[in-house]
Structure 1
Amino acid sequence: MKRSAFFFAGLCAALSGVAHADTFHVTIENPGVEHSTAAFTSMGVETFDSIVSGYNRSFTTDFGSGGVISGSYAGVDVVPANQYGGRGGAGNFASTSSGAGFSLSLATTNPAGINYFGFWLSALDSGNTVTFSKGGTLLFTFSASDVLALVGNMPAYFGNPDAPFGGNNGGQPYVFLNFFNTNGTFDKVTFSENLANAGYESDNHTVGFFTRESGTPVGGVPEPATWAMMIVGFGAVAGAMRRRQGRARLIAA
């Protein structure tokens, strides 16, 4: 049963019971690509490299946009690069190990608003969930099982691709995800982790108003039975590999 990534994203919204005019297209960049290749009228990127590492951080950023886009992070752990995260194998990345997660509130001087968010997802755990909302209304939810449905049968996405951690953690995917809201805008993104002793690692948070979508076309998603088996297998791998209460030991910048 062949389905595109776009169809799958719409199906996820329908199954979640969210009835809204907004339509999210989700695409993936090529293996090893850690940034978006879309086109924008306005955009910016937060790399977390200039943020002092620490737990439960709150700070503001303009994503290097010169003030066109502003964002307020709340409750985010900023962690030095390790085998679980950090684009390019260096600098810092964002993480959470909490069901409450961390939030990113967005604003822009661009009258068109913000209709794109993308990020480098690393070391996926089965409890990872990212949500998009506007004015307090939930628009779209994307979970770990949704990620696996896109890349679970593509070995090139598994394992850390960056030196000095290259090849580590080979049981989990590392992929840049693009989220295009093709029929609306949003003003808040929330990352949460609902699996004990695990985390949701991300980097290169990219926001803006897109004019051209990008991402590797996805030929299909697994049949329901295959998908279920993948999720069960992934849970077993996560349980065996990710018992790491102290995995993100922080080093003050």
Structure 2
Amino acid sequence: MKYLWASAAIAAAIVGTSAAQADTFNVTIEAPTVQNSTAGFSFSGKETFNSRSTGNNQSFVTDFGTGGVITGTYTGVDILAANQYGGAGGSGNFASTATTSGFSLSLSTTNSEGINYFGFWLSALDSGNTLTFSKAGTTLFTFTPSDVLAMVSGLPAYFGNPDSPFTGNNSAQPYAFLNFYNVDGTFDKVTFSESPTVGGYESDNHTVGFFTEQGGTPIPAVPEPATWAMMIAGFGLVGSALRRRVSKVALSHA
């Protein structure tokens, strides 16, 4: 199975903005329209949010369908019904936040190996979407919108909602399943935040576990830092989409 090791360009961007990071994370992207991980695991589970009630600022505990092997506590998450911006498969519910504080997912497991993998269906990426991994209160790794754009820019198959009844909607923003592998150790918390607040951070099919085989494929010709820096600087020129009374900056692609 092919996998994407963090490129020099992406690593440079991460180090430049998050000096406190301590662990190496390999990040891979699944093929367009694939909304679940192709990684291999010794144990894993998935939260689809479809059994949750819709509403804002919710907190709840889930076992990701593992029968108690994994315990996850969500704090401050908005649960929304599927729309053009989120909802794997075009139905059910999805997780979202539109605040700089965002929502957190605290993780624990009865398995001695710990948790070293997190993956999710990222939909309608905007310039405020930020993902942070931590352990015992220490930040290990931060993934930013510029990193995702560097991976999918020039690949139009990743842009726009792929699912009926919203097929083709929101065509200026990426939709992709991302895998995060901590190759140095484990983590116990994942935080989704919207900073700056330009829209919402939509996600679904949250998958956690201990990976044994990395899935996903590399994206060729990742731009150098100066290239994607200019892309990010141009976010405000691309236009915006009205979302829940918040303007959401669109990402351009070739």
TM-score scaled to structure 2, two decimals?
Answer: 0.90
The residue that corresponds to 2:199 in the other structure is 198
Question: How far is 1:166 from its partner?
Answer: 0.4
Instruction: Give yes or no for the alignment of 1:132 onto 2:133.
Output: yes
The residue that corresponds to 2:240 in the other structure is 240
- Could you tell me whether the CA contact under 8 Å between 2:21 and 2:139 is conserved in 1? no
Matches within 5 A, 1:72-221: 72-221=73-222
Task: Give the whole-Å Cα distance in 2 for the aligned partners of 1:148 and 1:183.
Answer: 25
Instruction: Give yes or no for the alignment of 1:31 onto 2:21.
Output: no
Question: How far is 1:77 from its partner?
Answer: 0.1
Question: How far is 1:234 from its partner?
Answer: 3.0
The letter of the residue matching 2:229 is A
Structure 1 residues without counterparts, runs of 5 or longer: 248-253
Question: How far is 1:197 from its partner?
Answer: 4.7
SS in 2 for 1:6: coil
- Could you tell me whether the CA contact under 8 Å between 1:10 and 1:25 is conserved in 2? no
Structure 2 residues without counterparts, runs of 5 or longer: 248-254
Number of equivalenced pairs: 242
Q: Do the aligned partners of residues 155 and 204 (structure 1) sit closer, same or farther apart at CA in structure 2, a change above 3 Å counting?
A: same
Task: Give the whole-Å Cα distance in 1 for the aligned partners of 2:211 and 2:56.
Answer: 32
Q: Do the aligned partners of residues 28 and 212 (structure 1) sit closer, same or farther apart at CA in structure 2, a change above 3 Å counting?
A: same
Deviations 1:176-231 (Å, cap 9, x if unpaired)? 01000011000000000023350000000000000000111122311334312321
Q: Do the aligned partners of residues 19 and 207 (structure 1) sit closer, same or farther apart at CA in structure 2, a change above 3 Å counting?
A: closer
- Could you tell me whether the CA contact under 8 Å between 2:12 and 2:225 is conserved in 1? no
The letter of the residue matching 2:186 is T
Task: Give the whole-Å Cα distance in 2 for the aligned partners of 1:49 and 1:10.
Answer: 35
SS in 1 for 2:234: helix
Task: Give the whole-Å Cα distance in 1 for the aligned partners of 2:209 and 2:12.
Answer: 24
Task: Give the whole-Å Cα distance in 2 for the aligned partners of 1:95 and 1:19.
Answer: 25
The residue that corresponds to 1:52 in the other structure is 53
Percent identity reads 65
Q: Bigger CA drift: 67-76 or 191-200?
A: 191-200
The letter of the residue matching 1:202 is S
- Could you tell me whether the CA contact under 8 Å between 1:96 and 1:193 is conserved in 2? yes
Aligned equivalent of 1:17, options 16, 19, 36: 19
SS in 1 for 2:240: helix
Task: Give the whole-Å Cα distance in 1 for the aligned partners of 2:234 and 2:13.
Answer: 21
Task: Give the whole-Å Cα distance in 1 for the aligned partners of 2:242 and 2:110.
Answer: 41
The letter of the residue matching 1:18 is A
Question: How far is 1:7 from its partner?
Answer: 2.3
Question: How far is 1:245 from its partner?
Answer: 1.8
The letter of the residue matching 2:64 is F
TM-score scaled to structure 1, two decimals?
Answer: 0.91
Task: Give the whole-Å Cα distance in 2 for the aligned partners of 1:144 and 1:230.
Answer: 11
Task: Give the whole-Å Cα distance in 2 for the aligned partners of 1:5 and 1:96.
Answer: 29
Task: Give the whole-Å Cα distance in 2 for the aligned partners of 1:175 and 1:242.
Answer: 21
